Amino acid sequence: MSQFIQFVFLGLAVGAVYSVFATSLVGIYAATGVINFAQGSIALWAVYVVAALRTDGTLVLPVGSLSIGSEDNPTPMVLAIVIGVVSAALWALLAHYLIFRPLRHAPVLAQVVASVGLMLFITALVHLRFSTDSLMALPILPQNTFEIAGAVVNVSDILMAVVAILIALLLWAYFSLTTLGVATRAGSEDELAARLAGFSPDRLAAIVWVITGAASGLIVVLGAYTIGLDATSYTFYIIPALAVALVGRLTSFGVACAAGLILGAFQAVILWASTLEWWPSWAQTGVGDAVPFVVVVIALFLLGGKIPSRGSLGEAKMPAVFIPRIRPIPVVLMVAAVVVAVLLTSGSWRFGIVTSMILSLIALSLVLLTGYLGQISLASMAFAGAAGFALSKVTTNWGVPFPLSILLSALIATVLGVIVGVPALRIRGAQLAVVTLAAALAIQSFVFNNPSLTPFEGNLIEDPTLFGWDLSVRQGSELTTIEFSMMVLVVVTVLTLIVMRFMAGATGRAFLAVRSNERAAASVGINVAATKILGFALSAFLAGVGGCLIGYSRGQLSAGSFTVIIGLTLLAMTYVGGITSVSGAFVAGIIGPLGVGYVFLTQTLDFGKYYELIAAGSLLLMAVLNPVGVVGAVREVVDRIKERTGKTGHHEAHSAPAAGPTVGPSETKASSHVG
């Protein structure tokens, strides 16, 4: 019992971080209607600022640095804390004015990807600007202990919980007892009424962003010595925080605070239980990280209909959808260009071409599910990874030959995709993004990082052969063989053409109808639930095939092959390319992680270390300035040129049933609205 009590108190430090993040999310949602995935990244910057100041007195800025001390005489603790908290508040203020304020009337998709982009941007900037491997957090809170029922309890853990409770009380008091706070809540219901009453929703929101940014930075700075200093963990603490915020229906500061403390203690108890003899060996890793996913799903299923939505001044227009047409000549020319590129390159360049082809297939799964069906998924790389690890089992343990091995592994990913997609039957938008991101983290922790399922030395994969023809990626000194490259090209081309046919047919029209208006789609006989499940199944299958091809291209897989960061980066690149068009998937493949664009940045420009920063920055610019992506921008320019030269207007427009989008048979483009 003493050990149980001790671990309960040990979990309070992490639980306090969850609580403050969660109450901050509640405040931001009340003020802006935004679910801020970057809350942890904002706090991450603050904790490293304080660590650097207390190590050698260097104030690290996004560009450049200032000296406020030295190694022998570092910055005083209180001053360092103040600077760190202010830096978090400034990041939050910049996020409001530069990103989320311009996206106030944007569709949920743009707000979600912008939030994810900000998370990636700050995380990448932390890695670039700070010596993350050498910096250490120094203690701030008292380190003495006392005993309760034989358990040794840290005073710092109790103080962390107290600070979290005080922050929750202060936020509640601000929103309930002050004129500005009440006006903020009123504005979340009706912005126009708030403006007519003389309040600026933008200024009210800015105040909340500053308060919540400072609170998140403070709690992480106080707890860093106990929890540890890690450049990514605080970023993904946002998932447990979202889980407990949803338990409080994104409205209750008290429930979110209490649930955060309970979740932190519960995860600590699970960690303790995993060391006991009766605990199964396969569940010794990742179970605690999977708990937030379960909490998110249960909370959204039980409370999804009770979570309030923010009032709006108008409809949010979704990015235009470009319906593909299969033209034989362009297809042949594109395939021929890839063949020539493969034949004329070798080494890392050919590997980059092959990787770009594979990534374009995974990006196509995002285009299908998010761009066409309107279901925001952040778990595509988790589906790819599940198929990749399944490929190792079916080839080495079961001896399933190629290409049946790919089919079977992709079907396993499909089943997983359907399971993750079930919540989409009741929830949508940013809430669905929360579910899929929580699922991705749960899969990464429980499957990819589980030694009993994924050995530390990696999962070996048997080389593919077909009728005695060796299709392995490596032969002798050749890094990427022509045979393997051609196999990947055939698989990607065939699947892409099939998906394009789906998109241009009745299935695509049903997807667009559901994307535009689910009730209208149901009124004309479309089975909305079946359509959503089909979308998740097809998307997971495509991602699964891509994961298998990644597995074959590596020869073995490890936990680092399919991280959530890689998946989010690919989402960023898909949005940059154009998440509503097949061409956008090709662009995403070219500029995706380890693709041709990455090889160019690394080998030609020597900018490889800036890749994630460039990717996240590009995503933010696209989300704010050009939501249709590169492909959409090019097509808009072409359309303007055609209009000026009098070459448009000769195609009759058609309407997709129940969706209301306008499509043309040549450059078929559709746009839809959501209320």
Please check the confidence at residue 47 and state whether its pLDDT lies above 90: yes
Please check the confidence at residue 281 and state whether its pLDDT lies above 70: no
525: left (phi over 0), alpha (psi -120 to 50) or beta: left
Q: What share of the chain is helix, strand, coil (3-state, %, to 5)?
A: 70, 5, 25
Q: What is the distance between the alpha carbons of residues 513 and 506, in angstroms, rounded to a whole number?
A: 10
Query: Residues 452-500: pLDDT tens digits?
Result: 666 655 667 888 888 888 888 887 667 789 999 999 999 999 999 999 9
Close Cβ partners of 58 (under 8 Å, ≥ 6 residues apart): 52, 65, 66, 67, 68, 69
Average pLDDT over all residues of the chain: 83
* 78, containing H or E segment: helix 77-94
Closest CA to 627 of 663, 588, 672, 575: 575
Q: What is the largest CA-CA distance in the chain?
A: 85
Report the DSSP beta bridge partners of residue 670.
Answer: 321
Close Cβ partners of 456 (under 8 Å, ≥ 6 residues apart): 558
DSSP summary character for residue 281 = G
Query: Residues 161-173: pLDDT tens digits?
Result: 999 999 999 999 9
Question: Which pair of structure tokens corresponds to residue 465?
Answer: 């052969």
Q: In Å, what is the CA distance from 388 to each residue of 307, 400, 412, 606, 660?
A: 37, 14, 10, 30, 39
Close Cβ partners of 246 (under 8 Å, ≥ 6 residues apart): 295, 296, 299, 300, 303, 307, 431, 434
Please check the confidence at residue 313 and state whether its pLDDT lies above 60: no
The secondary structure of 464-531 as a DSSP string is: PEETTEE--S-BTTBSS-HHHHHHHHHHHHHHHHHHHHHHHSHHHHHHHHHHH-HHHHHHTT--HHHH
Helix/strand/coil (H/E/C) assignment for every residue in 555-603 = CEECHHHHCHHHHHHHHHHHHHHCCCCHHHHHHHHHHCCCCHHHHHHHH
Helical ranges in 95-197 per DSSP H = 108-129, 155-177, 179-189, 191-196
Helix/strand/coil (H/E/C) assignment for every residue in 305-369 = HHCCCCCCCCCEECCCEECCCCCHHHHHHHHHHHHHHHHHCCHHHHHHHHHHHHHHHHHHHHHHH
**Poorest-confidence range of 387-391, 443-447, 554-558, 666-670?**
666-670
Please compute, for residue 313, the number of CA atoms within 13 A of its CA located in the half-sphere on the CB side.
13
Closest CA to 263 of 164, 140, 147: 164
pLDDT higher at 459 or 441: 441
pLDDT attached to residue 457: 57
Q: What is the band of 444 on the pLDDT scale with cuts at 50, 70, 90? A: confident
**Poorest-confidence range of 97-111, 129-143, 229-243, 637-651?**
637-651
Please check the confidence at residue 88 and state whether its pLDDT lies above 90: yes
Question: Which pair of structure tokens corresponds to residue 564?
Answer: 């959530």
Q: What is the band of 296 on the pLDDT scale with cuts at 50, 70, 90? A: confident
| Cα 304 to the center of its chain, rounded Å | 21
97-121 burial code (b ≥16 CB/10 A, e <16): eebbbebbebbbbbbbbbbbbbbbb
Q: What is the distance between the alpha carbons of residues 61 and 625, in angstroms, rounded to a whole number?
A: 26
CA 323, 328, 330, 336 dihedral sign is positive
pLDDT higher at 449 or 119: 119
Question: Which pair of structure tokens corresponds to residue 323?
Answer: 């319906």
Close Cβ partners of 504 (under 8 Å, ≥ 6 residues apart): 323, 324, 325, 326, 668
pLDDT attached to residue 158: 93
Burial class of residue 364 (count of CB atoms within 10 Å of its CB; 0-12, 13-18, 19+): buried
Please check the confidence at residue 648 and state whether its pLDDT lies above 70: no
Report the DSSP beta bridge partners of residue 557.
Answer: 459
pLDDT attached to residue 674: 35
Query: Residues 377-397: pLDDT tens digits?
Result: 888 888 998 898 888 888 888
Please report where in the chains the tokens 């892409």 appear, as a residue.
496
Contact between residue 482 and residue 351 where contact means Cβ atoms under 8 Å apart? no
pLDDT attached to residue 629: 73
Q: In Å, what is the CA distance from 55 to each residue of 125, 134, 230, 406?
A: 19, 10, 16, 51
pLDDT attached to residue 487: 93
**Poorest-confidence range of 127-141, 156-170, 386-400, 416-430?**
416-430
Q: What is the distance between the alpha carbons of residues 480 and 458, in angstroms, rounded to a whole number?
A: 20
Please check the confidence at residue 621 and state whether its pLDDT lies above 60: yes
Q: What is the distance between the alpha carbons of residues 566 and 592, in angstroms, rounded to a whole number?
A: 9
Q: What is the band of 304 on the pLDDT scale with cuts at 50, 70, 90? A: low
**Poorest-confidence range of 40-49, 101-110, 251-260, 665-674?**
665-674
